Amino acid sequence: MARTPTSRGAAPKSPSATPSSTQADTYRGNAGELQQQAGGKHPVLTTQQGIPVADNQNSLRSSPRGPGLLEDFILREKITHFDHERIPERIVHARGSAAHGFFELTHSLKRYTTAKVLTEIGVQTPVFTRFSTVAGGAGSVDTPRDVRGFAVKFYTPEGNWDLVGNNIPVFFIQDAMKFPDLVHAVKMEPDRGFPQAASAHDTFWDFVSLMPETMHMVMWQMSDRTIPRSLRTMEGFGIHSFRLLNAAGESTFVKFHWRPKLGIQSTVWDEALKLQAADNDFHRRDLFESIEAGDFPEWELSVQLFTEEDAERFPFDHLDPTKLIPEELVPLQPIGRMVLNRWPDNFFAETEQVAYCPANVPPGIDFSNDPLLQGRLFSYLDTQLSRLGGPNFAQIPINAPKCPFHNMQRDGHMQMQVPKGRVNYEPSSLQSDTPRASQAQGFRHFAQADDGVKGRVRPESFADHYSQARMFFRSQSPLEQAHLASALVFELSKVTTVHVREAVVGHLQHVDADLAQRVANGLGMQALPPAPQTAEPVQDLALSPALRIIDRMKPTLQGRCIGILVADGSNGTSVANLRKALEKVGASVKIVSPKVGGALLKDGTLLPADGQLAGTPSVVFDAVASVLSPDMGAALAKEAAAVDWFRDAFGHLKAIAACKGTRAILAAGGIEPDTGVVDPADAQGFIAAAQTRQWDREPKVRTLA
C-alpha cells in the first residue's frame, strides 16, 4: 500500500509538535512502558547540565521528515560525549584492514549529477578502502558474527568523497540519537568488561527487545551475511538514500551498492568459531595475500536511482535507514568497478589514521533527510578531532586530497603546513591570490521545501518495524532460514535474563510465526510469549530472492584456497597433477605436512610445505585433498590433528579429495563419504565439488533450529 504525501510528510497538528498517540506509543512507549513494567522507580533523564530530557528517542527536526537542526543541544551533547569516550582507538570499527586501489567509471551518470567521478568514463580515481568489524576492539579477531564496515575514500579531482557504509544495507536504529545507546548495549558490559566482539549477551538483546525498529537489522545480523568467508566476498552498501544533482539543479535519489567479483561467500557458524582459534587475522591475511599474489580483489559499483515521485509509491519510507529498496522494485544499474591492488606501506600511518566522514562529498552529490545520516554528518568529524589530535588531521597524507585545495584555516594542533602571506580571512583586498568562493564551481545543496513544525518526532511512515524483517526472512532459502533461526537460538541462549528472551521471541512472531516457534523450541520454552502490539499492520511485501546468499554463490575456484595434505612416501606425480589442475582454474594451493620442513616423497624428492598439520587446520581452506601412502594414512589416523583436519572439513560442508591411504583417517573420524568426497585422481570431479559447499550434507552433520 503506497502512502500519500499527506500521510507521510504531514506536520503534527499540535503547535508543540507532539507526536500522535500512535507515534508516542511506538517511539516512547515501547521503550519507556516496558521499562516501567520491569518495575522500580526511574529518575528523570537529564543532560550533563542537569536539564531534564523529554524525549531520548528522537532528534530535533524541522518537520517529521525534515533535516536535523543544529540547535539540538541534547543530541550534540550526547553524541559529542560518545565520540570522545575512547582515545585513540575507534569506538566502533576499531578492528580494520585496508588497501589502496582505483575506481573506474564504466557508465556515466551525467544526466543525474555533475560529480566528475560519476561522469567521466575510463578515468581511474585513486581509492583507499577499509573493511572492519563493528563491536570488537582493535585487538579482537577477524571472524566473529558481526556487521562489517565497508568504507571507500575516493580521491576525486573535486575533493575527497567518502562512501562510508557496511556489508548490510540497513541499520539497527532510525535516528542518530540512539546510536550511543546501541553501541553501549552491544559493547562489553561495563561492570564486567566482557564479552568482547559479541552480541550474544543480555544488554544487547535487552536493547533489541525494547526497540522493535531493530528487527529488520537483527534478521540480517543473524543471517550468514555477518560471518563472511572473506573480505573479498562481501557486498557493500551506502545504506542511506543520497541525492544526485545535475547541472540544472534537479535531484535524483540514489543508493550505492558494491558487488564482489568473486560473488558472496560465507562460512558456517562452527567454522567461524574455529577460524577465531586457527587465525585471529584470517580476513586480514587473506586480503594481504591476495594482493601480494596479484589476485586483486574487485567490486562492481551499482546504483539504484529513483525520484521523489517514485519514493511516494513505495510501501515504506526510503528515508528510514532500517528499510531497504528491493532490487526487484528498483533494479541495480552497474556503473563502475573498484580494484584494490596495493597494500599499505605502513599500517598505522594509513589504515589506522585514515579518517572517513559521510559529509565528505564532491559537488553533484548531496544528502537526504535520513535522520541517521544527518547525525553521522556531525559525528564522524567530531570523533576524528578526538582520535587524531585536532583539526589538522586532514593533512595526514592518507587523508589529504590529491587535488589542489585552498582555505583560510590556520594554526591548530599539529599544523604541518606553512601558510604564507598577510591575509587569512575572506573577503580581502590585500592579496590577489587568496582563495575565494565560487558560485559556478562550488558545492550546492538541493533546495528542498520544508512543510512542517520543528519537534522531536518521527514520521508515521517510520512506524512499521516488522514488514521488511518478514520480507527478508521469508525471502531466504530454507537452509538459510534454518541458519538464521539457529543463530537466534545460540545468541538468546547466552542471555541470562528470562524476560528479555521472551520479549525477543514475542517480536519474532510478527516476523514469522514459524521462526518464533523454532526459536522458542530451541530455547526450551513451554509456550510462546505474547507478541507486542504493533503501531502499524504488518505487510506481506513481495519476496526478494536477491537477498539470498546460497543461491547466488558463484560456482568458481577463482580466489579460493585448497589445502593438500602430504607426508613422507606420498606420490609426487599425483600431487603435481592435482595442483596443476586446481591452479589452472584459478585456485591457490597450499601444501600441508606433519612437519613444516615438508615431506620426502616416494621418489626421494623433498616437497616443501606451506604449513604444519597441527598449526594449519582445514578451517583455513575452501576445500581439502590428501595424497598419502597407506602406511602414513594408518599412522595419521591416530593423530587428532589429522582426524580433525578431515572431520572439520566434512562438517563444514567442504569438498574432500581423499586417496585410498586417507580412508583410515576418515574412518577414525566417523566420516561416511558422500558425493562431495572424491578420489584425488578425479581432478575434475574434485574441482566441480569444490566450487560450492555440500549443502545436502548439512542435515547429516548438525541439528539446526
Got the DSSP string for 177-190? GGHHHHHHHHS-BT
In 3D space, the residue among 42, 99, 46, 41 whose CA is nearest the CA of residue 74 turns out to be: 46
Predicted TM-score of the model (pTM): 0.89
Residues 6 or more apart whose Cβ sits within 8 Å of residue 66: 369, 450, 451, 452, 454
Res 416 pLDDT > 60? yes
pLDDT of residue 46: 85
Number of residues assigned to the chain: 705
Cell 516457534 appears where? Answer: 517
Distances (CA, A) of 6 to 27, 250, 314, 320, 465: 20, 23, 14, 17, 21
Q: Which residue has the higher pLDDT, 150 or 393?
A: 150
pLDDT of residue 444: 82
Residue 56 pLDDT grade (very low, low, confident, very high; cuts 50, 70, 90): confident
Percent of the chain with pLDDT over 90: 79
Q: Residue range 298-319: average pLDDT?
A: 97
pLDDT of residue 447: 83
Q: Verify whether residue 465 is a known catalytic residue.
A: no
In 3D space, the residue among 167, 485, 547 whose CA is nearest the CA of residue 332 turns out to be: 547
Summarised one tens digit per residue, pLDDT across range 672-696 is 999 999 999 999 999 999 999 999 9
Summarised one tens digit per residue, pLDDT across range 100-142 is 999 999 999 999 999 999 999 999 999 999 999 999 999 999 9
The CA distance from 666 to 647, in Å, is: 7
Which CATH code is given to the segment(s) 555-701?
Answer: 3.40.50.880
Delimit the CATH 3.40.50.880 region(s) of the chain: 555-701
In 3D space, the residue among 517, 527, 531 whose CA is nearest the CA of residue 488 turns out to be: 517
Summarised one tens digit per residue, pLDDT across range 357-381 is 999 999 999 999 999 999 999 999 9
Catalytic residue, chosen from 30, 58, 93, 465, is: 93
* Sheet hosting strand 611-612, strand order edge to edge: 611-612, 588-593, 561-565, 623-626, 656-658, 677-678
pLDDT of residue 452: 74
Res 98 pLDDT > 70? yes
Residue 563 pLDDT grade (very low, low, confident, very high; cuts 50, 70, 90): very high
Distances (CA, A) of 695 to 233, 588, 620: 19, 23, 19
Contact criterion met (CB below 8 Å) for 698 and 483:
no
pLDDT of residue 40: 67
pLDDT of residue 44: 83
Delimit the CATH 2.40.180.10 region(s) of the chain: 92-172+228-375
Q: Verify whether residue 58 is a known catalytic residue.
A: no
Summarised one tens digit per residue, pLDDT across range 178-227 is 999 999 999 999 999 999 999 999 999 999 999 999 999 999 999 999 99
The CA distance from 395 to 281, in Å, is: 30
Distances (CA, A) of 101 to 116, 153, 299, 586: 18, 10, 11, 22
Question: What integer best gives the mean pLDDT of the chain?
Answer: 92
Catalytic residue, chosen from 30, 166, 167, 360, is: 166
The CA distance from 378 to 357, in Å, is: 9
The CA distance from 679 to 696, in Å, is: 20
Which DSSP string do the residues of 378-446 spell out, in sequence order?
A: HHHHHHHHHHTSSTTGGGSTTTS-SS---------TT------SS--SSS-SS-TT-----TTTS----
Distances (CA, A) of 230 to 167, 216, 284, 695: 12, 24, 9, 19
What is the grid cell recorded at 151?
A: 568504507
User: Cis (ω within 30 of 0) for the bond into 334?
Assistant: no
In 3D space, the residue among 96, 119, 164, 150 whose CA is nearest the CA of residue 360 turns out to be: 164
Q: Which fold has domain 92-172+228-375?
A: Catalase HpII,  Chain A, domain 1 (2.40.180)
Provide the CA 34 distance to its chain's centre, in angstroms.
Answer: 30
